Chain A
Amino acid sequence: MAFHMLERPCPHKPKPVFMTPIDKSAVETILRPLDLTDDHYRRLMDLMTEDIVKGMNPQTHPAANIKCFPTFVRSVPDGTEQGDFLALDLGGTNFRVLLINLNGQEVKMESKIFIIPQHIMLGSGVQLFDHIADCIFKFITDHKLQGKKLPLGFTFSFPCRQEGLDKAVLTVWTKGFNCEGVVGKDVVELLHAAFKRRGDMPNVKCLAVINDTVGALISCAHSDRQCAIGLILGTGTNACYIEDLQNVKTWTGDDGEPRQVLINCEWGAFGNDGNLSFIQTDFDKAIDKHSINPGKQIYEKMISGMYMGEIARLAIERLRKNHLLFEGEGSYHLATRGRFYTKYVSEIEGDDVTNFTVTRQIFDELELTNHNEQDYRLVRHVCNLVSKRAAYLASAGIACLLNKMNKKEVTVGVDGSLYRFHPFFHDLMMEKIQALIRPNIRFKLMLSHDGSGKGAALVAAVASKLKDKDDRGRRGSKV
């Protein structure tokens, strides 16, 4: 990789008095592919609707991109959930243990974050679950909960095929994890096996395993009963929604009330069969080629935080190489894959447009030495295009779900760093969803914070109630 030996910028070297005006058409040619039209988004919605139906049909499910796994969660909380619950949140390098007290609308939470070292992310499944059990034990000890009976809800944010409320089989590792002996196995069983190996946690039992989209939906529904969609816009992207049982042809559970179930779309994989090539740019193709999973998670790669910075970087580099930015002068960092962090996109777009202080600061961090006002404006423009496309693509997905459900009023519970910290994401989505949905549908986008903790506890509470009812029923029948 080329290493540029940089000179310190000389404050006294004279700059030309008149700046060369930029070649607008050259810039537009390079950036136009990032600017999609409503026709593109509508076409995407049609393709997505088809794919969702395929996911819920047993014949087409194995080859479907959008798998639409049923979650076995049948309803949203009804406000009677009570008690103390443990929750686990595993979705990345940070692993959280939470103690949650539910009392009607009141929710109290205490939590601790544990780091998962690299060698455990790549070690054996036994090591991983032993480490998790160890962290839970430390938490229980710190909070003096040893004697207490603790039902546990587990938010496990990796693609799973659920076979029951407390049975989830991992289909593939993502987000940098690769522990052997876990794919194809039930993660709740692996967790309980780790508890058993230790022998010192007899009072902890996992009653429910969910994924982060379900957590977002359930957590939001706790305060807004109209919530029927959960959306994650963070390092990755995914959504879940409430579907009528009759549409879920792959359903293997019971047929009783309520005749609905939450469906985990795993919509990041949309486009895996190439049906999104009509909107993929060179930048997207380059990212896919160099990713750890080429050909997979195509829709996700155009939206989520893991890749957004890189899309911007590639566009910026192309402009630079064509002498449309920084007078063609780059830096080691700007040329390094992955170095233009997604947070820069948020920060640049949130910057003050008179002074561009934050943008300059970022260029300093990237060791770019030649920059002027045109560069700040153009880089901001690139960031606008990239984040707008991401927001609109996600909006098209949500509009697709809203149209499919066809409910009159729906709240969408959203969580994730992109949604939370990008200055315009919410507004962009509100605008675009409104433009793409059927006119009779009304919707809200609501931040569902801490879905992974609160959501898991709420589902565990429901599971606990069902279990108690079950136990009483069985006991009753013996009499």
Chain B
Amino acid sequence: MIKAGLNENELQALRRLGGEPNIQSSNFQSSSSMISHSLAEASSSMPVPETPYSGVTVKIEYAGACFDEGQTRRKRLSLKFPGNEIAGTIYDIGANLPNSNYTVGDRVIIVPDDDSNTGYTEFLPVEDTSRVIQVPNNVPLEVAAMLPGSALTAYAAVNCAKPHVEKLRKVKSCVNVLVVGAGGLGLWTIKLAKYFLGHDCNNVRVFVADNSIDRLLTAQDHGCYDIIHWNEEDHEQYIHERTLDSCRGGVDVIIDFVGSHRSMQRALKVLNREGVILVGGNSTSETNISLTALAAKQQSIVGIPQGNLNQLIELLNAVADKTLEVPQYQVFPVDEANKVFEDLTECRITGRAVFKFGSQSSAHLVDNH
């Protein structure tokens, strides 16, 4: 069984929060009074942390399901809970803050810092208010939740790849970009590539590779040029052939969110001269690289930079004015966390998963593309 990192106390709190253990969504309409009772009960069941003097306390409403892409085949996941994709409302404001900045009830997202694995919590005290960003009214909170994490990482990757793609577009009839990993990061990358390229995108082709056919088919729905099945059972040489067969003319830019030994070796085999590989920092793998080959082929390997605040705000605005399309996502009640993580690793769920905190345990599937 996959351990979601929620211990018994936390699970108990969740159950109490959700009302009776087996409440179905149909019961909700008739039992809303019961829910508000249990809400009142629940908010006092977990102590609310003290609000920092110059900070705020955020009541978490949504959290994106976060885990390391490269680890999907292992049975022990390194899960992050609540993770680095948190959206909620302002619950309390510190005494030392000028009162024009925030109002209780403001919809906000939180810029992640290093400590994203604190375990289940409903209220998050934030000392540094520059990490708390208000969300435009027309952006649903569950969408906003995804932005500080996967969307921002994908943004940083695409932004980093952009100058290289632009340079090649001038001299090549076709620039091939390969995204390794068709999970949340990969899907955001497809949408962001479209956003960056605008309407003039016919000589840049975005390919997506993954071990899972289900995830690849979802990626195809998001509008990438083609999908390539990197079946872990196949011989490596076959995978190289398969990739070069689809990416006619070789691959110029590779964005590898998986970053495993095998994915890197494959990337190096299919990369063109002067090509760039951008690597996400999720994996704990090491790999060997021939420095002479790298130099001879004038290739580069770059770590994907961390996204910054300005980029996050740009993301929010792009989603608000609909110039950036949002990938497919589903909302699940947070007490289904264990099952959802399992389904994500087995690719029974493709697209993003976002947990909804709070009393409503009705899951609704949002499928937008």
The CA of A305 and the CA of B232, in the complex, are separated in Å by 14
Contact of A343 with B246 at beta-carbon distance under 8 Å, contacts A3-B75, A115-B216 already known? no
Digitize B236-259: 1 where CB-to-A-CB distance is under 8 Å, 0 elsewhere.
111000100110000000000000
Partner of B235, one of A113, A115, A361, A417: A417
* Closest chain A CB from B130 CB (angstroms): 38
Contacts of A115 in B (CB 8 A): 213, 216-217, 227, 229
Please provide the chain B residues from 191 to 250 with a CB less than 8 Å away from any CB of chain A in the complex: 213-214, 216-217, 227, 229, 231-238, 242, 245-246
Does residue B364 face the partner (Cβ distance < 8 Å to A)?
no
Partner of B213, one of A6, A118, A346, A367: A118
Contact A93 B229 (CB under 8 A): yes
Contact B235 A346 (CB under 8 A): yes
* Closest chain A CB from B263 CB (angstroms): 12
* Closest chain A CB from B210 CB (angstroms): 11
Task: Count chain A residues whose beta carbon lies closer than 8 angstroms to a beta carbon of B.
Answer: 22
The CA of A361 and the CA of B232, in the complex, are separated in Å by 15
How many residue pairs between the two chains, A and B, have CB atoms under 8 Å in the bound complex? 43
Most A CB atoms within 10 A — which of B216, B231, B233?
Answer: B233
Partner of B234, one of A112, A343, A357, A361: A343
Please provide the chain B residues from 29 to 84 with a CB less than 8 Å away from any CB of chain A in the complex: 74-76
Does residue A372 face the partner (Cβ distance < 8 Å to B)?
no
Partner of B233, one of A111, A343, A367: A343
Does residue B339 face the partner (Cβ distance < 8 Å to A)?
no
Partner of A117, one of B213, B235, B246, B261: B213
Contact A343 B229 (CB under 8 A): no
Q: Name the CB-closest residue of A to B217.
A: A117
Contacts of A112 in B (CB 8 A): 246
* Closest chain B CB from A332 CB (angstroms): 6
Digitize A104-131: 1 where CB-to-B-CB distance is under 8 Å, 0 elsewhere.
0000000111010110000000000000
Contacts of A343 in B (CB 8 A): 233-236
Q: Name the CB-closest residue of B to A420.
A: B237
Contacts of A117 in B (CB 8 A): 213-214, 217
Contacts of B232 in A (CB 8 A): 341
The CA of A68 and the CA of B232, in the complex, are separated in Å by 34
* Closest chain A CB from B327 CB (angstroms): 19
Contacts of B217 in A (CB 8 A): 115, 117
Q: Name the CB-closest residue of B to A364.
A: B261
Contact A421 B238 (CB under 8 A): yes
Contact B75 A421 (CB under 8 A): no
Q: Name the CB-closest residue of B to A336.
A: B75
Contacts of A346 in B (CB 8 A): 235
Q: Name the CB-closest residue of B to A338.
A: B233
Contact of A361 with B229 at beta-carbon distance under 8 Å, contacts A115-B217, A343-B235, A421-B238 already known? no
Contacts of A111 in B (CB 8 A): 245
Contact B213 A421 (CB under 8 A): no
Does residue A277 face the partner (Cβ distance < 8 Å to B)?
no
Q: Which residues of B contact A (CB under 8 A)?
A: 74-76, 213-214, 216-217, 227, 229, 231-238, 242, 245-246, 261, 288
Q: Which residues of A contact B (CB under 8 A)?
A: 3, 6, 93-94, 111-113, 115, 117-118, 332, 341-343, 346-347, 357, 361, 367, 417, 420-421
12 contacts between A and B (CB under 8 A): A6-B76, A112-B246, A113-B242, A115-B213, A115-B216, A115-B217, A118-B214, A343-B233, A357-B288, A361-B261, A417-B235, A421-B237
